[in-house]
Amino acid sequence: MDAARFQLAATPFDVATLRAGLLDPGVGAYASFEGWVRQHNDGRPVRGLRYEAYAALAATEGERILQQALQEFDILDARCTHRTGDLVVGELAVWVGVTAAHRAPAFAACRFVIDEVKARVPIWKHERYRGGQTTWLP
């Protein structure tokens, strides 16, 4: 069996390697999305954050989303990796990569995957602010 399409990464991960896993002579279009840690959220200065996951459920739910994308869009592959643990401003939090023959389904599926991951996968963001306060989002 191939590596799972949805992965949690406890340490920084390399987008170039993930992208290389999607290379295929049938691909004409590669759409990707990355979430990076911003220095502000809702006007508050962010120092960093921690992502916590319910790993077993996140894996099955993430995989389900990618399988749905493969069924609903005319694409060749779809993958997603999400960080857990402590991140600082500027760090990569999540990557979605989708390949297709043509660009319209690649874009649509990429958007679908990140929207569904944010809505459904059991991962929680704990933000640390300058000044020392912290909060769970949302």
Binding site residues, other proteins, CB under 8 A = 35, 51-54, 56-57, 60-61, 82, 93-94, 114, 117-126, 136-138
Binding of residue 103 to its own copies (CB under 8 A): yes
Cα–Cα distance for residue pair 122/52, rounded to 1 Å: 8
Question: Is 16 an interacting residue with respect to its own copies (CB under 8 A)?
Answer: yes
Tokens of 116: 């569904």
Rounded to the nearest 5 degrees, what angle is found at the Cα of 52, between the Cα atoms of 78 and 22?
15
130 binds its own copies (CB under 8 A): no
CA distance 12 to 29: 26
The residues binding its own copies (CB under 8 A) are 15-16, 19, 23, 25-40, 89-90, 101, 103, 106-107, 110-111, 114
